[in-house]
Amino acid sequence: MKKKLGVYICACGGNISDYVDIEKVREAVKDEDCLVLAKTTMFACGDTNQKDMEQDIKENDLSGIVVASCSPKLHLTTFRGVSERAGLNKYNYVHANIREQGSWAHSDNKVGATEKAINLVKAAIAKARLAESLEPIIIESKRSVAVIGAGVAGMKAAISLARMKDEVYLIEREGKVGGHLSALEKISPEGTDGRELLARLEKEIAAEPNITLLTNAEVTGTSGNIGDFKVDVTIKGSQGEMVKQFVAGSILVATGFNSYTPAEGEFGYSNIKSVITLPEFKALISEGGKADADGTMRLYYNNREVQSIAYIYCVGSRQVKGENKYCSRYCCTAAIQSSLDVREKFPNVDNFHFTRGVRTYGKQELIYKESNDKGDVYIQFPDKKPPVVSEENGKVLVKAIDILSEKSESEVVADLLVLVTGMVPDSDTALGNLLKLPKGRDKFFNEIHPKLRPVETVIDGITIAGTCQGPKNVAESVNSALSAAAKSHSFVSLGELELEPIVAYVDNDTCNWCTACSDVCPFSAVSMIDHNGKAVAQINKSTCKGCGMCLPVCPSDSIELISFTNKEMESMIDVLAQ
Amino acid sequence: MSKRSAKILVFSTEKISDPAIDMAGLLKLHYPPEVFTIPVRCSSGIKPRWILRAFEKGFDGVFIAADGSDCSYGESCTEKTGHLVERVHEMMKSQNIEPSRLRMAAICSVCSESFVKQVKSFNELLLKQEIQ
């Protein structure tokens, strides 16, 4: 029976339509064979459009649909869901990627991008004409998760997973857990003590029988797939190294961040003694105080009393010249919190903040207000004219243009200059290379989509949490950890996973059993059977993984792979060649 | 030059090289729009007849964005894809198709820049051949 197909071309709110003339694409494909409707839509993934599609499928009795939109990594499952809800087998849905491999890749060539989109949609229609209804394959998924990194995100994720009854391997490369948490005296905006929080989390982990904590441990090898990852962990101990292997259904990566280290001479760093970074300043607040005769606490740095502190914000973040274009999000709040802490502990200290516009978003705005109320001075300098720092009589002279005072020049002579340094990706890239986790422009690990699939990576079964994904404060890290834990849990909780029913099959009439297919199959899925007195190959559907390695070696071309048949592949090639 | 870009068919792999090609778009790393991708499961599962069909139907070049050592179906993928390319090169010679019109390179899931570099240089090579 002839197929009845519907095609939807998405504008993606301009992401596609700004570069691809989607109306032209619709015009070019609307008369293709089997097509009964062709529509453009502002957001194909939007609820309204999904409902319209369901209605179209039912009303027009469609037997297949094509959506031309973003990468199938984002919305293949969305539109398969639409098909199923409308009573259409989901494997009759075909996706055309005209955003990542269309409008975005060719945003420099609108005509070329449009022509490419037309061909991609026609190729998808060609495939949809031949698509068949299929049923998914069910595989076992191990109910265990490897959580890599035991900072606040990894610890919270591990606890959350363990409470959902998953077996958890919490792997930390350092000798102790907590990451940067132990260095936080007071966490905004609630004023939580980082060390108290860490102690609480350690206690909770110790109380969870489902968590196996491995410290001084590094992941040195992985193999397998979602549902069945084999993870090699090298553990360093007093008696040398040992390697342990365990199986995890999912891997949750929470390897954290490094603090930015300013270059030599950047705002006087390492050339002027009284210039330190924010993490160094936090340590100084904890350790650098002495009480004088009347009991007043005084702050000392390099044996000199500190009475005035200047802060320069956005060091290593939002760089005009430099690689780190991103905002590190946490540092405005962390710097202001530290300035409040220092004022509380050492009442005779004055604070001068040189900012590029304070970003204490949300509830954190309250500490900015508190800081202003207590008399801290804020000077906002222009992006392209950073403050100039020099040494003067053992003190630090900071000169900056204040855009809030008609660009007049302000000068502060301070006893100490704190460079408010942001977050940079973990300098240890071994794990990222091992798992082949994609990184974004900022060099942090990349999620599939920041809103739609915010903790998933393109590697099925591997999720990311916390600051390995990008700058976050503690609360945001915890939220992302809980989200990643829920997602990893969803991969393992049922004990089974649905896989694509893509397996190879043999044409018994043309097969002459030469063993070529069984020789190359890495899964021993091919065996010989008797077919009407003739020896032929048979492929075991439950062991075949659908890699297709047997396809090109068959001398009589008797093997086909479901969804990748000669007809389907060649019909696409023919269309794309036009 | 008769046209601005050569027509190239890319066989990418769903789990490894296709995400890298997607990310090239995300990062707006431009490459010629006459580069079309068909995802397959594994680069060692591409049939020679599909490659020859592409040449027959008018593609100037075929690029196999191979899994390399990252293939989730096993370590033998690189070797098998290599053998496949060798075999197709021989077939191409016998059909008077210049073997350099089929190229293979390992493109892992983070190799967006490498992919763009590869297809751009392949495009230049194919255009040069066309002039000759």
Contact assignment for B28 to A107 by CB distance below 8 Å: yes
SS3 content of chain A, % helix, strand, coil (to 5): 30, 30, 40
Give the domain extent around A511: 503-561
- Measured in angstroms, the CA of A170 and the nearest CA of chain B are apart by 24
Exposure string of A480-508, with b = 16+ CB inside 10 Å and e = fewer, is bbbbbbbbbbebbbeeebebebbbbbbee
- Separation CA A435–CA A463 (nearest Å): 11
What is the domain-level CATH number for residue A523?
A: 3.30.70.20
CB contact under 8 Å between B80 and A546, yes or no, is no
A118 and A197 co-located in one domain = no
Structure-token pair, residue A283:
């340590």
Residue A400 shares a structural domain with residue A284: yes
Residues of A with CB below 8 A from B50's CB? 566, 569-570, 573
Cα A258 to its chain centre, rounded Å, is 17
Q: What tens digit of pLDDT does each residue of A486-512 get? A: 999 999 999 998 888 899 999 999 999
Q: What is the overall mean pLDDT for chain A?
A: 93
DSSP summary character for residue A329: S
User: Looking at the partner chain, which of B23, B45, B50 has a beta carbon nearest the beta carbon of A547?
Assistant: B45
Pair A277, A347 in one domain: yes
Q: Which 3 state secondary structure label does DSSP give B116?
A: helix
- Which chain B residues are Cβ-neighbours of A437 within 8 angstroms? 109-110
A100 and A12 in a common domain: yes
The whole-angstrom distance between B132's CA and the closest CA on chain A is 22
Residue A421 lies in a domain: no
Give the number of other Cβ atoms within 10 Å of residue A111's Cβ.
Answer: 13
Q: What gap in Å lies between CA A44 and CA A232, rounded to an integer?
A: 42
For chain B, what is the radius of gyration of the CA atoms?
14
Most A CBs within 10 Å: which of B16, B73, B78, as the mutation test of the A interface?
B73
Compute φ and ψ for A112, nearest 5 degrees.
Answer: -60, -40
Instruction: Kindly write down the DSSP assignment for every residue of A450-481, as one continuous string.
Output: TTTBTTB-SSTTEEE-GGGSS---HHHHHHHH
Same domain, A248 and A333: no
pLDDT band of residue A458 (cuts 50, 70, 90) is confident
Q: Is residue A566 part of a domain?
A: no
Amino acid letter for position A470: G
Closest CA to A453 of B19, B52, B31: B19
Q: Are A169 and A145 in contact (CB under 8 A)?
A: yes
Length of chain B (residues): 132
At B3 the pLDDT is 52
CATH number of the domain enclosing A235: 3.50.50.60
Query: Which of B7, B70, B80 lies closest to A436 in CB terms?
Result: B70
Tens-of-pLDDT digits for all 132 residues of chain B? 345 789 999 999 988 899 999 999 999 999 999 999 999 999 999 999 999 999 999 999 999 999 877 676 767 888 899 999 999 999 999 999 999 999 999 998 888 999 999 999 999 999 988 766
Q: For residue A572, list chain B residues with Cβ-Cβ distance below 8 A.
A: 38
- How far apart are the CA of A225 and the nearest CA of chain B, in angstroms? 7
Q: Are residues A535 and A437 in the same domain?
A: no
Residues 6+ apart with CB under 8 A from A218: A171, A173, A233, A234, A430, A431
- Are A87 and A210 found together in one domain? no
CA distances to A195, A205, A463 from A329, in Å: 22, 29, 22
Quick: pLDDT tens for A265-318. Answer: 999 999 999 999 999 999 999 887 888 888 888 999 998 999 999 999 999 999
B132 burial (CB, 10 Å; 0-12 / 13-18 / 19+) is: exposed
pLDDT at A139: 84
Which helix (H) or strand (E) segment holds residue A539: the answer is strand A534-539
Contacting residues of B for A115, CB less than 8 Å apart: 33
More confident residue, B22 or A543: B22
Same domain, A325 and A396: yes
CA distance B123 to A412: 58
Q: Tell me, yes or no, whether A209 and A128 share the same domain.
A: no
* E strand or H helix that includes residue A140: strand A137-140
Residue A431 lies in a domain: yes
Span A371-390, mean pLDDT?
A: 95
Closest-approach residue (CA) in chain B for A123: B38
pLDDT band of A184, cuts 50, 70, 90: confident
**In angstroms, rounded to a whole number, what is the distance separating the alpha carbons of residues A281 and A33?**
70
Question: Are residues A15 and A108 both part of a single domain?
Answer: yes
Is CATH 3.60.110.10 the classification given to domain B8-131? no
The answer to whether B53 faces chain A, any CB pair under 8 Å, is: yes
* Percent above pLDDT 90 for chain A: 80
Residue A329's identity, in one-letter code, is: R
Nearest CA in chain B to A124: B38
Contact list in A for residue B108 (CB cut-off 8 A) is 436
At A391-436, the pLDDT tens digits run 998 899 999 999 988 888 999 999 999 999 999 999 988 998 888 7
Contact B21, B37 (CB under 8 A): yes
What CATH number does residue A404 fall under?
3.50.50
Domain total for chain A?
4
**For residues A81-98, average pLDDT:** 96
pLDDT band at A442 (very low <50, low <70, confident <90, very high): confident
Two structure tokens written together for A217: 């441990």
Q: State how far Cα A210 lies from the chain centre.
A: 26
Task: Report the phi/psi class of residue A498: left, alpha or beta, with left for phi > 0 and alpha for psi in -120 to 50.
Answer: beta
- Where are the alpha helices (H) located in B14-111, listed in sequence order? 17-26, 48-57, 77-94
d(CA B102, CA A370): 67
Question: Cβ separation of B24 and A112 shorter than 8 Å?
Answer: no
pLDDT at A433: 83
Torsion sign (Cα): A14, A19, A20, A22: positive
Tell how strand A534-539 and strand A526-531 pair up: antiparallel
Shortest Cα–Cα distance, A342 to chain B (Å): 42
pLDDT at B132: 65
Residue contact B53–A564, C-beta within 8 A: no
Best of A19, A569, A571, A574 to disrupt the B interface (most B CBs within 10 Å) is A569
Give the tens place of pLDDT for each residue, A98-128.
999 999 999 999 999 999 999 999 999 999 9
Distance CA A257, CA A259 (A): 7
**Helices vs strands, H then E, count in chain A:** 13, 31
Mean pLDDT in residue range A522-527: 86
Segments making up each domain of chain B, as ranges = 8-131
The C-alpha atoms of residue A394 and residue A415 are separated, in whole angstroms, by 8
Q: Are residues A130 and A269 in the same domain?
A: no
Overall average pLDDT of the A10-15 stretch: 96
Nearest CA in chain A to B73: A547
A401/A446 same-domain check? no
3-state secondary structure of A31: coil
Query: Dihedral, CA atoms, B53, B54, B56, B59, nearest 10 degrees?
Result: 180
Q: Kindly state the average pLDDT of the residues A337-349.
A: 93
Nearest CA in chain B to A517: B45
A563: left (phi over 0), alpha (psi -120 to 50) or beta: left
Does B47 lie at the interface with A, CB-CB under 8 angstroms?
yes
pLDDT of residue A191 exceeding 80, the answer is yes
Could you report the predicted ipTM of this complex, rounded to two decimals?
0.96
d(CA A305, CA A300): 4
Does residue A477 carry a pLDDT above 60?
A: yes
